[in-house]
Amino acid sequence: MKIITNTDYMMRRLLLFCFFAFVAVAMSAQNNLVIRDFKYQQYDQTANLKGTLKKDNNGRTAALLKIETNLDDLAFDGGSYGIVTTEHKTGQWWVYVPERAQKITIRHPKFGACEFYYPSEIKAARTYSMQLTLEGMDVAIETSVAGSSIFVDDENVGKSPQTVYLTYGIHHITARNGNMYYDENINITKDGDKLLSLQMKDENELYGTVNVTVADGADIYFDGKKVGIGSWYQRLKAGTYVVETRKQNCESQTTSFEVEGKSDKTVEVKAPIPYTGSLTVLTTPKQVGMYSDTKLLSENGFAKLPIGKNEITYKHEGYRSITRTYDIPRDGELNDTIKLKPLTYIKKSGIYAGVAFTYGGSTMGVTGALGFSISNFDVQASYTMGLAESDPVHWYAKETNVEQEVDTYKLNTISVKLGYQFALSMRVGLTPQIGYMTQTLSSSGQYGDGANCGSFTVGAKLLIAPVPHLCLMLNPEFAIPNKKSETYKSIADVGGFAEGGFYAHAGIIVNF
């Protein structure tokens, strides 16, 4: 037999007391469901309409309890009368009960159970309503600015002053009236104040503006939503914020920034980083500039490029530029070979026109030239309009030796030349030429007008091109008379014109 001392007995009683006290506290912490505002809905016929009415086990039309609540996972017990059926609707539970039911018990796995006795007799085919909420109390809310809109947990509960039923616990309460606002979390307790006086503030003191900019016209995302392209201007409450920048074929970037109350600031955020590949090019000459638009990428034949289509232009002084398009793969490498051709301003083939000043054969004039070249073979036609007049020529009658008239003459020239062009450098060309020209006298008198002289020509055309498509021209030539009329010979001898001889043309040529 074991003897129990008085000390053991007292210790056991103390432990038993602590156990039951803990159970009681736990149960009281759970049993915080509350039913409010039980009403008979006289004009609601849902319980008695085809499609929504239900029959109990006795074939009688059940009554309908519309329980307004946002709680899920509820279980219902009607006691000895039982429950006909339940339906879960949005924001409501529909519970069908037999007539003359006495009570209902509602259970929740987290908030415990609530037993409710109906305050009036439940009758068949009638609709009743009630609110199921958590335990709380009515709280009067007033604001320092009357008539302010009040929000509890983001739900508009009306304008101040206002009495609101609040469950015990922390609630997010805001109020707004123009620029005046209140925004705080408030803990509602059983022993807490039943009157909340909200002191509103001017929100301009806590808000600032920020202008977010990003290079390359990237998209700007805030809170997962696209808010701008390249820039975003927004008014924000003081605090820390994060934006994300995105662009196709680029790695997105995030940037955090601070907003201060009553301030205006500009923030340059990180631009998306393009996905890249590489391009390696073997070039001739060895050092060639690789350009994207006007930006120099490299001069050593290697460049990192964004993925996708890229137009690259290769440039080197004294050489013709080349542009090629590459489709760069992500993290891939492309290879190419580029050979630039030396730049020459002297064209092998083309059409040209020019104008020159002509001097020679004791006369001078203005020459217009038109020609073309094919693979350096050159054909040129020109016309020279004489400007200088001859010495006076006196005409006498043969029979009487009486002077008939005194005339002066100008010498006009048409010529055709054939040559072959040599490019001495990229800007200098020399074309040896042979040709034939016809010189014709022009006068306002009746004697000798139209007399002509034909000559073979040999010469050379020197072209110097300071810029593309424009050349300075020097064209000396020597004319050997071949066929001339006696009238031309007589007028040339008296008027001072040469028959054939040396001529020089100096002017400009435009290449097309």
| Type and span of the H or E element at 52 | none
Does residue 335 surpass a pLDDT of 90?
yes
Residue 12 banded pLDDT, cuts 50, 70, 90: low
Place of tokens 């680029």: 250
pLDDT in the model for residue 17: 43
The alpha carbons of the chain give a radius of gyration, in whole angstroms, of 54
Which residues, at least 6 apart from 398, have a Cβ–Cβ distance to it below 8 Å?
none
| Domain architecture of the chain: domains with CATH | 33-134 (no CATH), 136-199 (2.60.40.1120), 207-273 (2.60.40.1120), 276-342 (2.60.40.1120), 350-396+405-511 (2.40.160.20)
Looking at every residue in the chain, the average pLDDT score rounds to 89
- Pick the closest to residue 158 from 179, 144, 175, 178 (CA basis): 175
Nearest-angstrom CA–CA distance, 122 and 102: 8
Nearest-angstrom CA–CA distance, 406 and 445: 8
Asked if residue 156 lies in contact with residue 150, where contact means CB atoms within 8 angstroms, the answer is yes
pLDDT in the model for residue 343: 81
Nearest-angstrom CA–CA distance, 198 and 160: 10
Long-range contacts, stretch 183-188, CB < 8 angstroms, 24+ apart: 188/136, 188/137, 188/139
Q: Give me the amino acid identity at 132.
A: L
pLDDT in the model for residue 8: 53
For the chain, give the percent of residues with pLDDT over 90: 68
Calculate the CA 346 to chain-centre distance.
Answer: 44
Q: What is the pTM of this model?
A: 0.43
For the chain, give the percent of residues with pLDDT over 70: 94
Terminal Cα-to-Cα distance of the chain (whole angstroms): 131
Asked if residue 170 lies in contact with residue 187, where contact means CB atoms within 8 angstroms, the answer is yes
Nearest-angstrom CA–CA distance, 206 and 378: 83
The lowest-confidence range among 133-142, 284-293, 378-387, 415-424 is 133-142
Residue 59, token pair as written in the block: 């074939």
Residue 135, token pair as written in the block: 């335990």
Q: Which residue has the higher pLDDT, 394 or 326?
A: 326
Mean pLDDT, rounded, for 476-505:
88
The lowest-confidence range among 102-106, 171-175, 214-218, 404-408 is 404-408
Mean pLDDT, rounded, for 192-207:
88
